[in-house]
Amino acid sequence: MALSPAAAVAVFFFLAMLVGGDAAVVEHTFVVSQVRMNRACKDTLVTVVNGQLPGPAIEVTEGDSVVVHVVNKSPHGLTIHWHGVKQRLNCWADGVGMITQCPIQPGKNFTYRFNVAGQEGTLWWHAHVASLRATVHGALIIRPRSGGDAGTLYPFPRPHKEVPIFIGEWWDVDLVELDMRMADGFFDDYPVNATINGMLGDLYDCAGASEDIYVMQVEPGKTYMLRIVNVALLSRYYLKIAGHRFTVVAADANYVKPYNTDVIAIAPGESMDALVVADAPHGKYYMVALANQPPLPDQQIPVFSSRGVLQYSYNPIKGEDPTVINSLMVPEMPDQHDMMTSFYFHGNLTGATPHPPLPINVDDRLFISLALGSICRGSHVPLPSSPCRGYDVNESISVATMNNVSFQLPTKVSLLEAHYRGNMSIAGKLHELPDKPPTEYNYTDKTMIPWGSKEAALESTTKAMSVRMFRFNTTVEIVFQSTAILNSDANPMHLHGHDFFVLAQGLGNYDAERDAGSYNLVDPPVRNTVLVPPVGWAAIRFVTDNPGVWFLHCHYGFHTSMGMAVAFEVENGQSSDMTLPPPPIDLPRCEHHGNSVAYQ
């Protein structure tokens, strides 16, 4: 049936009202400042938003627009990144220092504007300069578009309440200095301990008085949706609640097939939505977050753990006693060295339909090794040609690498601005990320973890502005390989501006012939962060459908600061709806910044 132009316009507006009529503009003002907080017997100056830790939650409905006025009253230049928001045709609002913009300088303001479309679930926002995200962070909750009388349309029964659970860490050091030390190869700082919703909990006390503990009140028989985010810089965590189970329903704001488990494994950058039914006898139950500790022969770090409480409301008429302590109250945690519980947890997540179709024909394949290495202090000369000795902090700087290059941020102009001006090299000397590591070796040989000759031969690396350019609409497959050079860390790799399919993960070295057969091409989960297992690999696939410059990095704070990152440059497509618009006129420019903090 052909419509007259006028009728077509009327139909268009009618449809627009149906699908977009109730989209709202959600506006916030974020005042970033330093406040003194007393934790663990010590006053610490912390940078926070609106005086809160965690910062304010942004709650929106899918399709809404978000406007956030950032007022920087802190002494640090900073940006705010909207972790997981796809920012289609809106790379300028991605908020990555020196990648998409120059930092908002002290005393200055900037307003971020973006839409949240085609995504629902739990995301979060955080500072993306130095390690400030340890305290500058908050939830970004996207609810499904309301379906009229049916109420909010989750693909599962509507929970009684939704509860953010932020697993983080309390640091009593200056986080900007911490970052500079890490970028300089010194890594000898640890957090005081883990936190749940910013609180250390009762495992930590100050002169005999327990620290604040997070308490979640529940009513018997009701279902709660936990919106769990790992906002920590240092560790991945196991989360359990004594006497209760979880049904994971979403990860990184993408629905997964409901997965029933008694433990959640969550790495920095990941978010999970999990239903918990308050179906235990009334009482108090601990929820425990326990950090993973790398297994030997890795260098051991302290064990971090925090507790909160799930507390049932009680009914005195029924003779219930609020002082009853249930015998199940402390959950039995996995061993802190247990890597397999996390491996299986992540492997058990599958995507829920409907999800975007999985592209079958791959245009570009990358194999990316994730490792540590070193450069000589005072120069960027590779080791074999120079006299400095590897992994000695006085002579060399340990760095983190992707395909044996450690990422260096530009200092004069953001990469996105350089891209927009059509000349990436105005940001500095570029290094093209190769398709595979320059040297192939047995990536997962654990004898390379302590310093030794085998490892030393592979340790030398370079510091460079590592970029990779893609045509618009390229289907990219990446296999990330965690290596055993100097450590056996897992690596939560996070891509900006795109969600991706996680096709498979495995232990040991990736073997294309054997492992491509294990790909889940039926219901792979859709994520923005993939946890690459320690001395193992993970494969992802995505389409470059969003022009701009997008950071890809490990979400461990120290790995980011040490350079485990690359910038993906995605070209414009053929038409205007595939083209990056001009920058907002008030976008902070770099010419103004005085000091040179490591801008990650």
Contacts of 315 (CB under 8 A, 6+ apart): 282
Number of residues that bind ligand C2O (CB under 6 A): 11
Residue 125 CB, nearest distance to ligand C2O (Å)? 9
Q: How far is the CB of 564 from ligand C2O (least distance, A)?
A: 11
Task: Return the residue of 39, 126, 282, 559 that touches ligand C2O, per CB under 6 A.
Answer: 126
Choose between 252 and 417: whose C-beta lies nearer to ligand C2O.
252
The one-letter amino acid code at 523 reads D
Near ligand C2O by CB under 6 A: residue from 480, 551, 556, 568:
551
Closest residue by Cα to residue 112 from 72, 81, 145, 143: 81
CB of 96 to ligand C2O, least distance (A): 6
Q: Which residue has the tokens 């009914």?
A: 315
What does the block give as tokens for 389? 């000795």
**DSSP at 325:** P
| CA 464 vs CA 427, 485, 492: distances in Å | 12, 20, 22
The smaller minimum CB distance to ligand C2O, of residues 285 and 551, is found at: 551
By beta-carbon proximity to ligand C2O, the closer residue of 63 and 269 is 269
Segment lying near ligand C2O (by CB under 6 A), choices 336-344, 518-526, 537-545, 547-555:
547-555
The single residue among 39, 419, 541, 553 that binds ligand C2O, judged by CB under 6 A, is: 553
State both tokens at 563. 């350079």
d(CA 92, CA 110) in angstroms, rounded, equals 12
Between CA 559 and CA 337 the distance in angstroms is 20
* CB 267, min distance to ligand C2O, A: 11
Binding mask 498-537 for ligand C2O (x = CB under 6 A): ----------------------------------------
Least separation in angstroms between CB 182 and ligand C2O: 16
CB of 228 to ligand C2O, least distance (A): 15
What's the CA gap between 273 and 276, in Å, rounded?
10
Judged by beta carbon, residue 39 or residue 128, the one nearer ligand C2O is 128
CB of 84 to ligand C2O, least distance (A): 8
Which residue lies nearer to ligand C2O by CB, 81 or 244? 81
Looking at the Cβ atoms of 136 and 484, the one nearer to ligand C2O is 136
∠ Cα 135 37 29 (to 5°): 50
Cα 392 to Cα 285, 322, 388, 445, 460: the distances in Å are 47, 57, 8, 22, 12
Find the radius of gyration of the CA atoms of the chain.
24
Return the number of the residue (81 or 431) whose C-beta is nearest ligand C2O: 81
- Give 244 or 555: the residue with its C-beta nearer to ligand C2O: 555
**Shortest Å, Cβ 102 to ligand C2O:** 16
Closest residue to ligand C2O, Cβ-based? 83
Residues numbered 128-187 forming contacts with ligand C2O, rule: CB under 6 A: 128
Measured from the CB atom, the residue of 128 and 282 that comes closer to ligand C2O is 128
Q: Which is nearer to ligand C2O, 287 or 564 (CB)?
A: 564
Residues 6+ apart with CB under 8 A from 189: 171, 173, 178, 181
Spatial distance between the Cα atoms of 502 and 527, rounded to a whole number of angstroms: 7
Between 126 and 307, name the residue whose CB sits nearer to ligand C2O.
126
454 strand-pairing partners: none
Task: Out of 54, 138, 269, 548, name the contact with ligand C2O by CB under 6 A.
Answer: 269
Question: Can you say whether the dihedral through the CA atoms of 347, 352, 358, 364 is positive or negative?
Answer: negative
Give the contacts of 378 (CB within 8 A, at least 6 positions apart). Answer: none
Can you read off the two tokens belonging to residue 372?
């540590």
Question: What is the number of alpha carbons within 13 Å of residue 453 lying toward its C-beta?
Answer: 0
Is residue 492 reached through a cis peptide bond, with omega within 30 degrees of 0 on the bond before it?
Answer: no
Cβ proximity to ligand C2O: between 81 and 419 the closer is 81
Which range of residues in 148-156, 306-314, 430-438, 550-558 is near ligand C2O by CB under 6 A? 550-558
Q: Find tokens 């000759």 and name the residue.
A: 453
Q: Rounded to an integer, what distance in angstroms lies between the CA atom of residue 192 and that of residue 173? A: 9
**21: closest CA among 12, 8, 29?**
12
Of 139-147, 279-287, 424-432, 548-556, the segment contacting ligand C2O by CB under 6 A is 548-556
How near is the Cβ of 495 to ligand C2O at its closest, in Å?
9
Ramachandran assignment for 208, one of left (phi > 0), alpha (psi -120 to 50 degrees), beta (any other): left
Taking CB under 6 A as the rule, does residue 83 contact ligand C2O?
Answer: yes
What x-and-dash track marks residues 95-124 binding ligand C2O by CB under 6 A? -x----------------------------
Q: Is 494 in the site for ligand C2O (CB under 6 A)?
A: yes
The one-letter code for the residue type at 1 is M
Shortest Cβ 85–ligand C2O spacing (Å):
10
236 binds ligand C2O per the rule CB under 6 A = no
Name residue 505's amino acid: Q
Closer of 191 and 308 to ligand C2O (Cβ):
191
- The Cα–Cα gap between 138 and 168 comes to 11
Smallest distance from ligand C2O to CB 38, Å: 28
* Residues within the interface to ligand C2O (CB under 6 A): 81, 83, 96, 126, 128, 269, 494, 496, 551, 553, 555
